[in-house]
Amino acid sequence: MDTDNGSTILREGFLVKRGHVVHNWKARWFVLMPDKLLYYKYEGGKRDSSQRGKILLKDCALTCPFLEYENRPQVFKLQTANGVDHFLEACSREERDEWAADISAAVDKLRTADGNKSANNKGKAGSRLNNIDLSKVLDSMYDVHSGIRMSNHTEQGGTYSNCFSGSEVVDWLVFMQLALNRVEAVTLASALLEEGFLRPVGVRSLEAQRTAGLSEQFMDDSCALYSFSDSLKKRGCVKAEMSLSAVELSGKVIKRGYLLKQGHRRKNWKVRLFVLRSEPAFLHYYDPTKDDISPVGGFSLRGCLVSSLEDNGVPSGVKGNIQGNLFKIITQSDTRYFIQAPSHQEKMDWIEAIRKHT
């Protein structure tokens, strides 16, 4: 891959970026280098040779998580030295935090090179937590406008309304600057749980509560569900409902990632967010340019066949000059999906993960 002046590539991959003029969201291929973040358009299964933009990292400020986009919880904000805001979305919380950590490390290294070392706040963390008023934290969480967002979550065939995941609580505490980092946020959330301000909801968090030694341990987990205590005035009651679509989406998330998919009608290639779930085993895909949290497609993995396609030449069934890192899924109803991964390793990882659930 071409790079500016042959600089080292620290990280690369798909992120979804909000436009500056028209505030739409588009998938771009990002390349992190020691002093800049480059991004490219990615069409027809390949990255453009010319970059679409450049973000200089010197004196940048990073906010992660950035929770002002209701249906986009994996967004982080990068503000340049000139005050320009860039909003970037990753495919998962883990990817988001890894990108943020690598970008922060690059920014800190540039700052250290200039002799302006960032202030060290670690020594203050313990005393800060000791002095926090949990009732005020709860009031902030409960605030209709700036509080934590309650929504429906599915787990093992049930839909739980008016609740939130452990990861969403940790994200909110960090975003609202009530905690300096995720470790501190888990400690604070565990205190809220221990005082009875929060309660576990659903199978995963209740199982953790029953496990020895975890009775007051809050879980930074997107599958562990929590709600406000029954003793509080409710913004809404928690209840479990059942539906076919809820069952499809209720399985444990095994893998998430951006892949390119060939359309069934126009045969054009588009970046999609793929989510692999188990129990029941389904593969869903989402349009990352939309705020809608519903999948645009998906299928049961039962009876599916998945196979790697050769890298030499364009395989049969693939339209356009698309080559490399391709694989095919044939469903039980004989529908064929042609998919391209960003790298050979990611292709093999997806094939292995899917085969385990067919």
With beta carbons less than 8 A apart as the criterion, state whether 27 and 16 touch.
yes
Partnered with residue 201 across adjacent β-strands are 225
64-70 mean pLDDT:
89
CB within 8 A of 341, min separation 6: which ones?
259, 260, 325, 327, 347, 350
DSSP H helical segments within 74-211, as ranges? Answer: 93-113, 125-130, 134-142, 166-175, 182-194, 202-210
Helix (H, G, I), strand (E, B) or coil at 275: strand
**Locate tokens 């950035």: which residue?**
66
Q: What is residue 6's DSSP assignment?
A: G
Q: What is the pLDDT of residues 167-215, one digit of tens each?
A: 999 999 999 988 888 888 988 888 888 777 888 887 777 776 665 444 4
What is the distance between the terminal CA atoms of the chain, rounded to a whole angstrom?
Answer: 35
Looking at mean pLDDT, say which of 229-238, 254-263, 291-300 comes out highest: 254-263
Which residue matches tokens 């929504």?
151
Contacts 24+ apart (CB under 8 A), 54-62: 55/80, 55/86, 56/80, 56/81, 57/103, 57/106, 57/107, 57/110, 58/107, 58/110, 58/111, 58/114, 59/107, 59/110, 59/111, 60/103, 60/107, 62/100, 62/103, 62/104, 62/107
Which pLDDT does position 260 carry in this prediction?
92
Is the pLDDT confidence value at 78 over 50?
A: yes
In this structure, how many other beta carbons lie within 10 angstroms of the beta carbon of residue 358? 16
pLDDT tens for 307-332 read 998 876 667 777 777 778 899 999 99
Cross-strand pairs, 272? 259
62, β-bridge pairs = 78
d(C-alpha 53, C-alpha 331), whole Å: 39
pLDDT tens-digit map of 345-354: 999 999 999 9
Burial of 172 (0-12, 13-18, 19+ CB in 10 A): buried
**Could you tell me the pLDDT band of residue 119, with boundaries at 50, 70 and 90?**
very low
pLDDT of residue 60: 93
Look at the pTM and tell me if it is higher than 0.85: no
Does the structure show a pLDDT above 80 at 158? no
Label each residue of 92-125 as H, E or C. Answer: CHHHHHHHHHHHHHHHHHHHHHCCCCCCCCHHHH
